[in-house]
Structure 1
Amino acid sequence: MFTHQGRKRTTSHNLQIASLLSFVAGIVNVAGFLAIHKLTTNVTGHFAFFLDEVFRLDFWQGLIYFLYIFFFFSGSFLSGFLVEYIARRNSNYTYIIPTAIEGMILLVVAVFGADLILENPNGIAFTLLFAMGLQNSLVTRISNATVRTTHLTGLFTDLGIELSQLFFIREILLRKKLFTSIKLRFTIIGFFFTGGVVGGIFYSQMGLHVLLFGVVALMLGLIYDSIKLRMLKLTRKYRN
């Protein structure tokens, strides 16, 4: 899921990582909004608010919205930088370390976020947007831009286009490829929705501790990938 790259990467691997990370993003999206009433998984709306505040000459509030965008961008930049840096040293850990960092960030917000909701809500927004920028860059890179998990605008656009193509494409191979892509889109939507439901239901009881579900999901994904990698190495060793 995290270690397979290039030709070794299959549709199954993309479905696995799409399921995992879209579930996490769904939790973060709802938990962040309920906690501080801000979008914490994408910056599309924040850019519009940024321009609105600038035109109103409220530069301080405009700066806050700019920082939302900046922290998302910074997470994306760090993820891309780490992927390139680690890939040159040990390709087996290329995507594992950024995922572990995301998990630690969510853990910190889950543990200390309740104290910041009133004192520094923007700090929570900055941190979660940084984590989602990191995740979005990571999954975009590992899936060759096939999977996006932190926002649904482009996803529904692609889904609409692909569903419309079903009325016109008749070639068996092309239709099979199209159905595979549609399945991936529905998987992301479904798990994003599931994560949102989990976040919404448990937020009323746990507050930002609900992010621990996302942390556990990421850790289980890394453990699963580690076990698969070890089994693969053992299989190759015995074959040789």
Structure 2
Amino acid sequence: MFLHKGSRRTFSHNIRLASTLSFVAGIVNIAGVLSVATLTTNVTGHFAFFAEEISLKNYTKALNIIVYIFFFLLGAFTCNLLVEIVSRKKPRMAHALPMFTEIVILTSVGFSTDFNPNYIAYALLFAMGLQNALVTNISQSVVRTTHLTGLFTDLGIELSQLFFYKKETEMKRLTRSIFLRISIILFFFIGGVLGGLLFKSFQLKILLFAVVILVVALFLDNAIIYYNLTKRKIKIMTSKSS
């Protein structure tokens, strides 16, 4: 799910990546909205809020919104910086450091009790900028876990293409792409609804649920890789002994 890139990635890899991280993004988004009334998984809405505050001459609030946008950008920048640095020595571990950083951030916010609301927003925006960049890097822009406007646009285009594409190869590619986009939208929605239902009881601790999902995903991904490597080594040793 995390380790395969380029031609080594399969449709199954992308589905698992999309469903897992869009579910996490849905939880983070509703946590930001309900705790500090801030969108934390994208920056599109913040530009509208910025324009509104400027028109109302609330320049301090407008500046803070710019800081929100900056932290999302900083998260994406940091993610790719970490990936590039680690991949030069240990390419198989390139995804681990950004994922670990996201886990630490969400855990810290989940256990926070008296943080400034702006700091919570900054942290969640940074984490989601980091996650978006990681998913984009791993899938080579095939998967995006929070950009629902673009997803719905692409989904509308591809649904219309069903009326015109008739070749088997074209239909297979198209239906897979549609299924991937629907999966992202659906799991983002489920994460948001579940997070919203649990927020009243757990407050920001709902982020710890997202953390558990990320940790399990990392563990299973590495366990599968370790299993396959071990199986391959055993096969090689068996063939040599025979």
| The two structures share one fold, judged by TM-score above 0.5 | yes
**Contact in 1 for aligned 2:29/2:41 (Cα 8 Å):** yes
What secondary structure sits across from 1:38 in the alignment?
Answer: coil
**Alignment RMSD, CA only?**
1.1
2:149 corresponds in structure 1 to 153
Which of 204, 208, 221 does residue 204 from structure 2 map onto? 208
2:240 corresponds in structure 1 to none
Larger Rg: 2
1:55 CA displacement? 4.1
Query: Letter of the aligned partner of 1:77 in structure 2?
Result: F
1:59 corresponds in structure 2 to 59
Instruction: Give the share of equivalent positions with the same residue, in percent.
Output: 52
1:1-240 equivalences in 2 (<5 Å): 1-112=1-112, 114-116=113-115, 120-240=116-236
- Rounded to whole Å, the distance in 2 between the matches of 1:58 and 1:198 is 35
What secondary structure sits across from 2:142 in the alignment?
Answer: coil
What secondary structure sits across from 2:114 in the alignment?
Answer: helix
Runs of 4+ in 1 over 4 A off after TM superposition: none
- Rounded to whole Å, the distance in 1 between the matches of 2:232 and 2:90 is 18
Aligned residues: 236
Deviates more, 1:84-93 or 1:52-61: 52-61
- Rounded to whole Å, the distance in 2 between the matches of 1:175 and 1:55 is 48
What secondary structure sits across from 1:129 in the alignment?
Answer: helix
1:108 CA displacement? 0.3
Structure 2 gap ranges (5+): 237-242
Query: Letter of the aligned partner of 1:81 in structure 2?
Result: L
- Rounded to whole Å, the distance in 2 between the matches of 1:37 and 1:54 is 19
Query: Letter of the aligned partner of 1:229 in structure 2?
Result: I
Query: Letter of the aligned partner of 2:167 in structure 1?
Result: E
Query: Letter of the aligned partner of 1:3 in structure 2?
Result: L
